[in-house]
Amino acid sequence: MSSRIPRHPLGPLSLAAGLTLVCTAAHAQDDTRHHHKPRRHPVPRNDAARSQDTKPAAPKSAPPAPKTADNSVTAAPEEAEHLQVVGSPMNILHESMGLSRMPQDALHTPQTINIVPQLLMQQQNVKSLDEALRNVPGITASVGEGEGGMAGDQFLIRGFQAQNDIYENGLRDFGVYTRDSFDYDHVSVIKGPSSEVFGNGTTGGAINITTKVAHLGDSYGGSFSGGSGAYYRGTLDFNKQIGESTAIRITGMGNENNVVGRDQLYSHRWGIAPSIAFGLGKRTTFTLEYFHQSDNRIPDYGVPVVTKPGTAYGLPVTEYGVKRTNWYGTSYDQDASNVDMLTGRLKFTLNPHITLYDDLRGGMYERYFSSSQEACDATCTANLFTNPSAAMVNRRGGVGGPEPYQQNDWSVQNVFSAVAKFDTGSIRHEMIAGWDVSHVYDRRTNYAYNFDGQNGTQKDTTSLLNPNPNQPGLLLGSLGQYAPNIVNIPGVGHAIYKTGDATDVGAFFSEQMWLLPVFSIKGGFRWDHWNSHYSANGGVAGSGVAFGQDQDTFNPTVSLMYTPDDNTMIYFNWAQSTTPLGLYVTNSSEPLKSSTEGFKPERSSLYELGAKYNAFHGRMGFTASVFRLEKGNSLQTDQNGDVSSSSDRQRNQGVELSISGEILKNWTMIGTYAFYDAKTLAGTAADVGKRIQYAPKNSATIWSTYTIAPNKPYNLTFGGGLTWREGVWLDAANTARVPATVEWDAMISHNITKRWRVAMNGYNLDNRLNYGSLFSNRATPSIGRSFLFNLSATY
């Protein structure tokens, strides 16, 4: 077998993205703030036009608009061409959730919600989902658990796994890959258990991505970025209206970069996302979306964590003088993925009271993954502090693993929902009901290493201080070769083929009743039947096993809402969620085995009291909440992929605050803060009373910009922000820790014309040693100081 799969070429897409900048185009929407303009006909939407650097003159005041049943604003016929509701594109309370099961905007949704709006992503030049979520407190990136880890996007919310809780437009994205943000409109993080809406999982919350889709009107845009780390990136965004109610849109991306502050690492990826929409502005609307992303990157499992003699807990070796640039992989390491998803979304307005939705998605995911997992044992640790040049790390994680594998997955999901709005006397109702059916299949083909033909009796080691990716004598076998060296999973064996699948059939119902004009109650539930299987075969020493499990789950939720006016809501929310064993089919080592088949699912409950307020005519949004999140039957997975203890009870309680919008004319800000008191209350004796791993006690983000002389030739926008996360524990027993993250970023931009913009972004300006992706015995240093130049055009 080749030592490395040939990297995917970027093809013509990068060139096309760059050429977009010189295209000629038609009319543009110069209004770049959220001035919602109800009209007789739909208003063309232009996502790329939401620029922070230009602003129109304030509109003349209009008569008050009549309110609809759902607290939205509509226009009377005589004022349809004049009404404007002034807001701010940075005020996250204006954003919708982007799915029928949560039809309200963030203001009227009774749960803590953090939104990363389009304007913020533009200002920060966000390029991935991970970068977008750095604006959300309480989210931690993890490199995965067990059996070599999974890399890709692995997140924790409030200290709890959310690796299977990433959604696009309300449909689950089952893939394991690093998601580029070129197709994002905005990203929402719904905190706390949300199984009633999304299905099983969502212990800490759910991440929902709202994508860019075809809209009425014409718009054309593109950008090019270049900078530190040999970074080159081009994007395009082309939308064209065809006829009265049909439009097509194509977004694309080409990206090449190394990683500043880390040796040997790179990412080469490209993507394209065309969509076509029929019946826009009509009773029946159908949108068809296709998404493709190819990525070839080197996985980064960071640096080992060691405990210095005489200290109480371990720290990354970089805290003891080891270079942050050190990468401990080999020339075999590779993460090459291809993702294809086709989504159809149908909306049918039956009458003014009933709207029907049906969303269908099919996905195919291919991935070759090979990574080194370095470990610094007792001898390595002792040498680090006494004879550093003799310190050696083991890159195979011990004899027999981790091994490379080829992963081939497919999934299909269909969600049907109906929304009914009606009155019974003085009581107003909104009912949502439907069903959700999904199936996911995962097939992994495992390969193994050999060392000088000695069947793994020697370890692959390299210097802790000066690692070398070239390991003499290390051989990667072909299919079935060196089978005894495939990782040995207890109760499973050394299996060449591992297959997992899961089918979920769910039904959901909720109703919100306005008992008084200012008070409503919402109750709902979801029932799921979860059936999962796992088999391992084709190897040696105990392979040829098969396990299965059926579970029925029921997850209720109840909310009380007080809305004294259109800009204020005070709420209480109680919700539950369930995570069955075997839920993470594609993005985790399968935990089903003879010793775990009978494990009960994890069960979580949320109690939350909060308030949301729109101020200054919608320019500013404020939120505050206190919560208590409890999880029972908590499953622990160690670095070998072994699942243990189904009895731990964990609790996270705390406070979350946010502010977003326009403070003064031309001055915008978005800020968040979270305090978490997260502990293990019962279960494993060594863990009781300890903080939950990965859950920071305090975390905060702030981003602010100011525009000088908008609409003038000498206009200038400048600003920046801070991301802060207190140090976190890496294990349940609190024996390993990473220090606090403090990152200062900044930007400056200038509108050359109303359509052309030039910008410069600086990241980690003080070049601080921070840590991004975390694992129980490793941590990955974040990027060093870097700068990106960006040139963009919008027509």
What pLDDT sits at residue 485? 79
**What CA–CA distance (Å, rounded) separates 58 from 46?**
20
What pLDDT sits at residue 273? 98
- Asked if pLDDT for residue 784 goes beyond 90, the answer is yes
Lowest-pLDDT range, 455-464, 477-486, 645-654? Answer: 455-464
Query: CB-based contacts of 525: which residues, under 8 Å, 6+ apart?
Result: 196, 508, 509, 510, 554, 555, 556, 557
CA distances from 585 to 27, 411, 526, 619 (A): 48, 11, 21, 43
What pLDDT sits at residue 40? 35
Local structure of residue 97 (DSSP, 8 states): -
Task: Decide which of 76 and 710 is more confident.
Answer: 710
What is the signed CA dihedral for 121, 125, 129, 130, rounded to 10 degrees? -120
- Asked if pLDDT for residue 765 goes beyond 60, the answer is yes
Residue 1 lies in a domain: no
- Asked if pLDDT for residue 543 goes beyond 70, the answer is no
**What CA–CA distance (Å, rounded) separates 681 from 667?**
45
What pLDDT sits at residue 347? 97
**What CA–CA distance (Å, rounded) separates 300 from 263?**
10
pLDDT band at 476 (very low <50, low <70, confident <90, very high): confident
What b/e string do you get for 597-619 counting C-beta neighbours within 10 Å, with b at 16 or more? eebebbbbbbebebebbbebebb
pLDDT band at 51 (very low <50, low <70, confident <90, very high): very low
What pLDDT sits at residue 456? 47
Six token digits for residue 762: 């600086």
Token pair 């009914």 in the structure block, residue: 420
- Mean pLDDT (the chain) is 84
Mean pLDDT of 786-790: 97
Residue/partner pairs of 80-84 with CB below 8 Å, 24 or more apart: 80/38, 80/39, 80/40, 81/39, 81/40, 83/37, 83/38, 84/35, 84/36, 84/37, 84/59
Mean pLDDT of 701-720: 96
What pLDDT sits at residue 4? 45
What pLDDT sits at residue 737? 96
Phi first, then psi, for residue 149 (nearest 5°) are: 65, 175
What is the DSSP secondary-structure string of 323-345? -TT-----TT-EEEEEEEEEEEE
Residue 292 lies in a domain: yes
Lowest-pLDDT range, 3-17, 210-224, 355-369, 465-479? Answer: 3-17
What pLDDT sits at residue 41? 36
Mean pLDDT of 646-662: 89
**What CA–CA distance (Å, rounded) separates 572 from 111?**
8
Six token digits for residue 315: 């720290």
What pLDDT sits at residue 602? 82
What is the signed CA dihedral for 770, 771, 777, 778, rounded to 10 degrees? -100
Contact 153, 203 (CB under 8 A): no
Pairing of the two strands 219-227 and 246-258: unpaired
DSSP 3-state of 42 = coil
Token pair 């004294």 in the structure block, residue: 564
pLDDT band at 72 (very low <50, low <70, confident <90, very high): very low
What pLDDT sits at residue 641? 45
**What CA–CA distance (Å, rounded) separates 767 from 786?**
8
Give the CA count within 13 Å in the CB-facing half-sphere of 82. Answer: 10
Residue in 374, 383, 535, 549 with CA at minimum distance from that of residue 462: 374
- Asked if pLDDT for residue 53 goes beyond 70, the answer is no
What pLDDT sits at residue 783? 93
Lowest-pLDDT range, 80-94, 557-571, 725-739, 740-754? Answer: 80-94
Residue 564 lies in a domain: yes
Residue 7 lies in a domain: no
Model pLDDT for residues 577-594, shown as the tens digit of each residue: 988 876 777 766 555 666
Name the region of 270 (left: φ>0; alpha: ψ -120 to 50; beta: rest): beta
pLDDT band at 395 (very low <50, low <70, confident <90, very high): confident
Residue in 787, 785, 786, 768 with CA at minimum distance from that of residue 318: 768
pLDDT band at 47 (very low <50, low <70, confident <90, very high): very low
Q: CATH number for the domain including 772?
A: 2.40.170.20
- Asked if pLDDT for residue 5 goes beyond 50, the answer is no
DSSP 3-state of 309 = coil
What pLDDT sits at residue 418? 97
The pTM (predicted TM-score) of the whole model is: 0.86
Model pLDDT for residues 275-313, shown as the tens digit of each residue: 999 999 999 999 999 999 999 999 998 999 999 999 999
Reported as type and span, the H/E element at residue 133 is helix 129-133
Lowest-pLDDT range, 107-111, 280-284, 479-483, 656-660? Answer: 479-483
What pLDDT sits at residue 56? 39
pLDDT band at 397 (very low <50, low <70, confident <90, very high): low
Residue in 541, 379, 494, 360 with CA at minimum distance from that of residue 438: 360
State the alpha helices, DSSP H only, in 390-495. none
State the greatest distance between any 2 C-alpha atoms of the chain, in Å, as a whole number.
86
67 beta partners = 73
Query: CB-based contacts of 431: which residues, under 8 Å, 6+ apart?
Result: 418, 419, 420, 421, 509, 510, 511, 512
Mean pLDDT of 762-780: 92
- Asked if pLDDT for residue 67 goes beyond 60, the answer is no
**What CA–CA distance (Å, rounded) separates 410 from 422?**
40
User: What is the SS3 string spanning 108-128?
Assistant: CCCCCEEEECHHHHHHHCCCE
Contact 299, 361 (CB under 8 A): no
**What CA–CA distance (Å, rounded) separates 699 from 715?**
34
Contact 718, 666 (CB under 8 A): no
Give the domain range for residue 712: 13-794
Task: Decide which of 748 and 498 is more confident.
Answer: 748
Six token digits for residue 355: 């709207």
Percent of the chain with pLDDT strictly greater than 90: 62
Residue 254 lies in a domain: yes
Pairing of the two strands 205-211 and 166-168: parallel
Model pLDDT for residues 143-174, shown as the tens digit of each residue: 654 444 467 888 889 988 887 889 999 999 99
- Asked if pLDDT for residue 117 goes beyond 80, the answer is yes
CA distances from 578 to 109, 129, 195, 437, 631 (A): 21, 25, 7, 17, 9
Contact 651, 629 (CB under 8 A): yes
- Asked if pLDDT for residue 639 goes beyond 70, the answer is no
Query: CB-based contacts of 600: which residues, under 8 Å, 6+ apart?
Result: 633, 646
Model pLDDT for residues 514-525, shown as the tens digit of each residue: 999 999 999 999
pLDDT band at 240 (very low <50, low <70, confident <90, very high): very high
- Structurally, the chain folds into a number of domains equal to 1
Contact 690, 154 (CB under 8 A): no
Residue 4 lies in a domain: no
- Asked if pLDDT for residue 84 goes beyond 80, the answer is no
pLDDT band at 79 (very low <50, low <70, confident <90, very high): very low
Token pair 């404020």 in the structure block, residue: 622
Model pLDDT for residues 213-222, shown as the tens digit of each residue: 999 999 999 9
Phi first, then psi, for residue 743 (nearest 5°) are: -130, 125
**What CA–CA distance (Å, rounded) separates 602 from 256?**
40
Task: Decide which of 234 and 3 is more confident.
Answer: 234
Six token digits for residue 250: 């194509």
Residue in 450, 777, 484, 767 with CA at minimum distance from that of residue 637: 777
Peptide bond into 77 cis (omega under 30): no
411 beta partners = 363, 440
Is 504 exposed, middle or buried, given 0-12, 13-18 or 19+ CB atoms closer than 10 A?
buried
What pLDDT sits at residue 267? 94
Residue 181 lies in a domain: yes
Phi first, then psi, for residue 275 (nearest 5°) are: -145, 150
Query: CB-based contacts of 12: which residues, under 8 Å, 6+ apart?
Result: none
Six token digits for residue 299: 């996985």
Lowest-pLDDT range, 386-400, 439-453, 549-563, 691-705? Answer: 386-400
Phi first, then psi, for residue 13 (nearest 5°) are: -65, -40
Model pLDDT for residues 242-252, shown as the tens digit of each residue: 999 999 999 99
Six token digits for residue 614: 């729109």
What pLDDT sits at residue 595? 57
- Asked if pLDDT for residue 621 goes beyond 70, the answer is yes
What is the signed CA dihedral for 20, 23, 29, 31, rounded to 10 degrees? 70
- Asked if pLDDT for residue 646 goes beyond 60, the answer is no
User: What is the SS3 string spanning 209-267?
Assistant: EEECCCCCCCEEEEEEEEECCCEEEEEEEEEEEECCCEEEEEEEEEEEEECCCCCCCEE
- Asked if pLDDT for residue 500 goes beyond 60, the answer is yes
Token pair 């893939």 in the structure block, residue: 175
Number of H helices, E strands in the chain: 5, 42
Contact 241, 44 (CB under 8 A): yes
Six token digits for residue 627: 């919560």
305 beta partners = 316
Residue 571 lies in a domain: yes
